[in-house]
């Protein structure tokens, strides 16, 4: 019996070494961690339960029959983060450069299938040279099997990808289908075709970093939702992200204890925030930072921003209000006046649909002058992309609360979770301007003849502008019609939101039965 135990010990020790100590040293020399070191840093201590440790590839061509490693380049299993279960895989670059073989793919597919059956999130730690060329179409088939499971799991369980090294060719499409992508600056790279092929085909001379580095994908392409300086930061923020979201579409997000404070006569003094009264500048064209509003409204100022460097004119991310996990969608007046463009529309739509898939309530903070004008936007499909954002808000059945802080002009007023598209509670600050367009533009259109024929056109314009602002550039006409549920002092906003989200915990809404919708992609 002892011989059999000894054999098991020996095989385990061999598997733990991956491609061998030399390859491990090379990985460390690049500033990268090994597959198992990454798992240890990500999950709760001692919680990882590995499966398929002894799997080997089954190929014999090109001398592969003489090169077999236990695990075949990927570590798979189950673990816990903050006591909650997850499934995960971690590609091992020390074995064939983490390249994907048939057996490698089968291991990943097995845990994906189990994650789907048990209703738990899946986290993929990607560090791979791509398909194992020696296996040919078998490795390509392995990728397709993974892509299918990514698609089937979409909206059922959260899927998170961390790209911690190279990710090229077909390998990029699995992270692209998942809900959130993390990358490490100067270490991670994603591209469909590498710099050498690009130079051959298009004659462009571009570096790995410029073509597909973390900062490129976090700021330009929007492929990466997060880019951090180290793997440690990636793991910390994966843990933080998971703290806001449920295990599956039927589950609820973790709710933290929140004691509703009350002062004299039951008034909630501790939830009033006087500083909010001073946020909006007197000049309606002067910017302010919506991030400051968010930090004052959310519990303990704790906000995890998603896509921070991509389309920064729209802010999205997770926070808690009254202990309840919410997704925040907010215009950013400090960037491009908070206007909606193609990238912001797609960014917002994707985030809203994730929240709706996983029962996460939405808070919309609105200060939007409209959609970005110009030939570049029109020719590249601002109508179609703007429709994505509208579509996402319309179809969402989760609790939806909007606060208009200042501008809500034109079609953007409708799109940003207006009452007309099933907003549950719609509030406005006294500084809100709800109109078809900005006051100056409206006056110039409506009173063009009057202004042109006036003895002093500029004076007449200013007179009419002041009258128009007084009558129309305010929230009260919308409130009279019930489009705004209440005009509130900014300082009251937190109290209103806490009450709203508590009340909406039992909200039930639905969409017509269908196979699936056809969002204007």
Which residues form the catalytic set?
A: 169-170, 411-412
Other CB atoms within 10 Å distance of the CB of residue 85:
16
Structure tokens at 470: 């007084």
SS3 57: coil
Non-local (6+) Cβ contacts of 385 within 8 A are 342, 345, 346
What CA–CA distance (Å, rounded) separates 78 from 89?
Answer: 9
Residue 334: is it exposed, middle or buried by C-beta count within 10 angstroms (0-12/13-18/19+)? middle
**Which residue, chain included where needed, has tokens 């500048």?**
281
Nearest residue to 92 via CA among 43, 126, 131: 126
Q: How far is CA 176 from CA 100, 198, 294, 360, 511, in A?
A: 17, 21, 29, 22, 27
Phi then psi dihedrals of residue 90, to 5 deg: -135, 110
What CA–CA distance (Å, rounded) separates 260 from 399?
Answer: 20
What CA–CA distance (Å, rounded) separates 139 from 96?
Answer: 13
What CA–CA distance (Å, rounded) separates 132 from 171?
Answer: 11
Q: How far is CA 22 from CA 9, 18, 53, 63, 82, in A?
A: 21, 10, 20, 21, 34
Structure tokens at 350: 């994707």
Helix (H) or strand (E) holding 202: helix 195-202
Structure tokens at 224: 């990466």
What CA–CA distance (Å, rounded) separates 166 from 175?
Answer: 12
Contact criterion met (CB below 8 Å) for 407 and 336 = no
What CA–CA distance (Å, rounded) separates 333 from 351?
Answer: 20
Give me the DSSP letters along 156-220.
TS-EEEEE-SEEEGGGGHHHHHSSEEEEETTT-EEESS-HHHHHHHH-----HHHHHBHHHIIII
Count of residues in the chain: 521
């Amino acid at each position: 019996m002892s011989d059999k135990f000894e054999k098991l010990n020996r095989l385990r020790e061999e598997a733990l070494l991956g491609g061998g100590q030399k390859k491990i040293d090379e990985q460390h020399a690049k500033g990268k961690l090994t597959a198992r070191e990454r798992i240890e840093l990500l999950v709760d201590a001692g919680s990882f339960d590995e499966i398929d440790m002894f799997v080997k590839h089954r190929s014999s061509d090109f001398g592969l029959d003489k090169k077999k490693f236990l695990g075949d380049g990927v570590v798979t299993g189950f673990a816990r983060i903050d006591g909650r279960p997850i499934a995960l895989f971690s590609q091992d670059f020390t074995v064939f450069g983490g390249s994907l073989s048939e057996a490698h793919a089968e291991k990943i597919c097995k845990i994906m299938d189990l994650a789907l059956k048990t209703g738990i999130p899946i986290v993929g730690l990607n560090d791979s040279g791509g398909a194992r060329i020696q296996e040919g179409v078998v490795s390509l088939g392995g990728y397709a099997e993974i892509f299918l499971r990514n698609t089937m799991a979409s909206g059922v369980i959260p899927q998170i990808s961390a790209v911690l090294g190279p990710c090229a060719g077909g390998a990029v499409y699995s992270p692209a289908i998942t809900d959130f992508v993390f990358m490490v600056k100067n270490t991670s790279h994603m591209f469909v075709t590498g710099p050498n092929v690009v130079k051959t085909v298009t004659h462009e001379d571009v570096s790995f970093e410029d073509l597909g580095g973390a900062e490129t994908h976090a700021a330009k392409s929007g492929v990466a939702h997060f880019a951090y300086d180290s793997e440690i930061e990636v793991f910390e923020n994966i843990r933080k992200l998971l703290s806001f979201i449920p295990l599956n579409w039927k589950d609820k997000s973790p709710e933290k204890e929140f004691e509703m404070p009350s002062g004299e006569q039951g008034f909630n003094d501790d939830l009033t925030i006087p500083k909010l009264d001073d946020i909006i500048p007197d000049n309606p064209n002067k910017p302010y930072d919506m991030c400051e509003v968010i930090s004052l409204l959310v519990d303990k100022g704790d906000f995890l921003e998603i896509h921070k460097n991509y389309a920064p004119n729209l802010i999205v991310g997770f926070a808690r209000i009254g202990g309840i996990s919410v997704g925040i969608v907010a215009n950013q007046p400090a960037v491009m006046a908070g206007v909606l463009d193609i990238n912001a529309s797609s960014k917002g739509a994707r985030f809203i649909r994730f929240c709706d898939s996983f029962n996460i309530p939405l808070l919309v903070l609105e200060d939007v002058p409209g959609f970005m004008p110009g030939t570049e936007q029109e020719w590249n499909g601002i109508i179609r992309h703007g429709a994505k954002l509208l579509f996402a808000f319309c179809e969402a059945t989760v609790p939806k609360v909007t606060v208009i802080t200042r501008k809500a002009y034109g079609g953007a007023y409708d799109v940003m979770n207006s009452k007309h598209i099933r907003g549950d509670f719609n509030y406005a600050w006294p500084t809100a301007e709800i109109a078809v367009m900005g006051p100056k533009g409206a006056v110039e259109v409506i009173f063009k003849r009057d202004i042109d024929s006036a003895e002093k056109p500029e004076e007449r314009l200013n007179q009419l502008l002041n009258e128009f602002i007084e009558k129309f550039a305010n929230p009260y006409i919308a409130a009279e019609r019930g489009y705004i549920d209440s005009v509130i002092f900014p300082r009251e906003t937190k109290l209103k939101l806490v009450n709203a989200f508590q009340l909406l915990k039992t909200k039930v809404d639905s969409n017509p039965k269908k196979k699936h919708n056809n969002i204007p992609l």
